[in-house]
């Protein structure tokens, strides 16, 4: 695995010749086309296969997996151009194996929001263990569904993944309502076919730490009656003691919107080290960002890269902060800032070093190269914190 930054007016074919790999693979793994020059400083993920295979007309993905003593899921992760489906054609060049992962194993959690297509979900399934479906809100003392999710849940379960329902809290239940709230969550999750519940936005609800911890503990006890997991979200820079009362935590950390963003050492490393030493990292997911920052607003990282590619705007790399930035717009007055692939790789190395369980990301917005880095560095395991009965 190499992270290459283009120089001058290079195109995909120029880079492919340097590494002796297929330009089509480079384009597909980086979500770009093979046409035209790339802007100077554009990051490209180069995955050098240790073994490839030319598909024959009678082949299926299962047959190829059996032949090379691997799995369909592994082949789908190594070949994202398949879109998560067993659709092959004669002469197609598949990557069968790469260098053996050296960082151990991780679990993954993907967020599924309204508007994410069924095809996108299917394409992401090889990279996923848990799928958090963001489809309910607690408001005015009751839990309401945001959109029907039965079809998506059926797809998730039929592919051996664990669906988790995310409850967005606009308020905390009253102290006398905590038990009813917990039981309502248990019934909603069980009846909807979910393996777990995620409580979102606890950080913003109350500064009463004891009350937050008590609420999370009450919910967890209720869910345990039906063998349902409890996840909690938390900002890495806030007090997250309540995460210790859940089965797993999802830790977010964002630096790209800060005018004086810290270096990686003083930012992610310091923050995640502090968390790992004060709470239980082995039950916590670390978020991989999918957004860029442009003109005071968030945009998709993919959208930001497309804009930069279209304008062929030069990208500058900050080694200490591991950020990329490019000036866009009229007279180059707006600066687009995004996390580099080097930042993703360094964060994943830190996940391994500090013993976090895995990573979390937005299924609809995460860039393919970020997932390919994770798949190249780690063996992805489905659901290590679930009992046999929950699978």
Domain that holds residue 172: 105-289+354-390
d(CA 144, CA 95): 45
CATH of the domain at 47: 3.10.350.10
Residue 317 lies in a domain: no
Are 73 and 129 part of one and the same domain?
no
166 φ/ψ angles, rounded to the nearest 5 degrees? -100, 125
Are 115 and 168 part of one and the same domain?
yes
CATH of the domain at 277: 3.20.20.80
Are 166 and 219 part of one and the same domain?
yes
pLDDT score of 261: 86
Are 86 and 134 part of one and the same domain?
no
Residue 284 lies in a domain: yes
Are 119 and 64 part of one and the same domain?
no
pLDDT score of 279: 85
pLDDT score of 332: 59
- Coil, strand or helix at 373: helix
Give, in degrees to the nearest 5, the angle at Cα 300 between 19 and 345: 40
Are 280 and 384 part of one and the same domain?
yes
Are 72 and 167 part of one and the same domain?
no
Residue 10 lies in a domain: yes
Mean pLDDT of the chain: 90
pLDDT score of 9: 84
Considering 48, 75, 95, which residue would you say is the last residue of a domain?
Answer: 95
pTM: predicted TM-score of the whole model, two decimal places? 0.90
Residue 84 lies in a domain: yes
Residue 341 lies in a domain: no
Residue range 53-91, pLDDT digits in tens: 999 988 999 999 999 999 998 899 888 888 888 889 998
> Strand (E) positions, the chain?
2-5, 43-46, 51-54, 93-97, 105-112, 130-139, 142-145, 162-169, 196-200, 229-235, 248-252, 284-287, 291-294, 297-300, 316-318, 323-328, 334-339, 358-362, 379-381
Considering 95, 125, 147, which residue would you say is the last residue of a domain?
Answer: 95
Are 227 and 158 part of one and the same domain?
yes
Are 277 and 136 part of one and the same domain?
yes
Tokens of 28: 């597909």
Residue 343 lies in a domain: no
Are 274 and 184 part of one and the same domain?
yes
Residue range 338-380, pLDDT digits in tens: 999 999 999 999 999 999 999 999 999 999 999 999 998 998 8
Considering 95, 121, 153, which residue would you say is the last residue of a domain?
Answer: 95
Give the residue ranges of the chain where pLDDT is below 50. Answer: 388-391
Number of domains in the chain: 2
pLDDT score of 280: 87
Are 185 and 109 part of one and the same domain?
yes
Are 259 and 360 part of one and the same domain?
yes
Residue 225 lies in a domain: yes
Residue 306 lies in a domain: no
Is residue 150 a contact partner of residue 191, using CB atoms and an 8 Å limit? no
């Amino acid at each position: 695995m190499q992270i290459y930054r283009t120089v001058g007016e290079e195109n995909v074919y120029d880079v492919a010749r340097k590494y002796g790999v297929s330009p089509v693979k480079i384009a597909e793994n980086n979500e770009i086309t093979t046409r035209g020059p790339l802007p100077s400083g554009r990051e490209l993920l180069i995955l050098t296969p240790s073994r490839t295979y030319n598909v024959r007309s009678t082949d299926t993905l299962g047959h190829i997996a059996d032949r090379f003593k691997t799995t369909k899921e592994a082949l789908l992760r190594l070949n994202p151009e398949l879109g998560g489906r067993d659709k092959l054609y004669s002469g197609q060049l598949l990557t069968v194996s790469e260098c053996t992962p050296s960082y151990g194993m991780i679990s993954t959690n993907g967020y599924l929001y309204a508007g994410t297509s069924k095809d996108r979900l299917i394409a992401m399934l090889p990279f996923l263990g848990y799928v958090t479906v963001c489809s309910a809100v607690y408001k005015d003392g009751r839990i309401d569904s945001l959109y029907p999710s039965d079809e998506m849940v059926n797809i998730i379960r039929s592919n051996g993944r664990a669906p988790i329902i995310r409850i967005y809290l606009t308020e905390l239940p009253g102290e006398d309502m905590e038990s009813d709230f917990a039981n309502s969550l248990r019934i909603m999750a069980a009846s909807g076919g979910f393996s777990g519940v995620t409580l979102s936005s606890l950080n913003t609800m109350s500064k009463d730490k004891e009350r937050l911890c008590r609420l999370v503990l009450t919910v967890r006890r209720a869910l345990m009656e039906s063998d349902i997991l409890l996840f909690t979200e938390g900002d890495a820079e806030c007090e997250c003691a309540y995460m210790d009362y859940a089965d797993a935590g999802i830790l977010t950390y964002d630096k790209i919107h800060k005018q004086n963003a810290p270096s990686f050492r003083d930012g992610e490393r310091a923050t995640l080290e502090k968390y790992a030493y004060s709470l239980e990292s082995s039950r916590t997911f670390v978020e991989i960002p999918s957004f860029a920052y442009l003109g005071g607003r968030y945009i998709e990282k993919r959208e930001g890269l497309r804009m930069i590619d279209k304008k062929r705007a030069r990208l500058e790399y900050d080694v200490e902060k591991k950020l990329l930035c490019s000036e866009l717009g009229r007279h180059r007055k707006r600066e687009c800032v995004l996390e580099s692939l080097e930042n993703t790789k360094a964060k994943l190395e830190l996940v391994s070093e500090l013993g976090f369980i895995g990573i979390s990301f937005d299924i609809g917005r995460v860039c393919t190269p970020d997932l390919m880095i994770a798949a190249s560095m780690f063996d992805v395991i489905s659901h290590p914190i679930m009992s046999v009965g929950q699978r």
